[in-house]
Amino acid sequence: MRLLTFVTLLLFFQTSVKAQDTLNNKSEGTDSGVIMPIARQAEFKGGLEALYQYVAKHVKYPYRCMENSIEGVVIVSFIVEKDGQVSNVETLTQHKSCPEMDAEAIRVIRKTSGKWIPGLQRNKAVRCSFRLPVRFDLGDST
């Protein structure tokens, strides 16, 4: 029996999904990133339910946070690359009372690398950014 009732707030999954397409800047000879709406967003293999299950199965509630009854939400930002790998994983929130929650959310999202179907724009794979709220909740122990 787990004390952890792990809930991913995918209601706010904020597939603040943005494709990052590059265009040649001929005047300067460099590539510049352009963020645009995409035709199909990247998705976790198996869909949202599979993502919920994966995160719930792999998250380990940090012991110190559990001992001190610290709960919270960690918002993780990351990029799904053109090959389904995950990069640039970071938290947008910081829990000063229990930074281990931030580290654990990052660890679990990094483990999803390679388990994503990339987004598409004009029938080409594109990079997509995501924000995923991850809730650490001890549940009602009474």
Residue at 37 is within a domain: yes
The structure's pTM equals 0.75
Structural domain for 110, as ranges: 7-136
CA distance 120 to 128: 9
Total domains, the chain: 1
User: Is the residue at 141 inside a domain?
Assistant: no
pLDDT in 10s for each residue of the chain, 142 residues: 333 333 333 333 333 344 443 333 333 333 334 346 778 899 999 998 999 899 999 999 999 999 999 999 999 999 999 999 999 999 998 888 999 999 999 999 999 999 999 999 988 999 999 899 999 999 865 4
**Is 1 a domain residue?**
no
CATH number, domain containing residue 92: 3.30.1150
Instruction: Give CB contacts under 8 A, 24+ apart, made by 16-24.
Output: 16/129, 16/130, 16/131, 17/41, 17/42, 17/119, 17/128, 17/129, 17/130, 18/128, 18/129, 19/119, 19/121, 19/126, 19/127, 19/128, 20/79, 20/126, 20/127, 20/128, 20/129, 21/121, 21/126
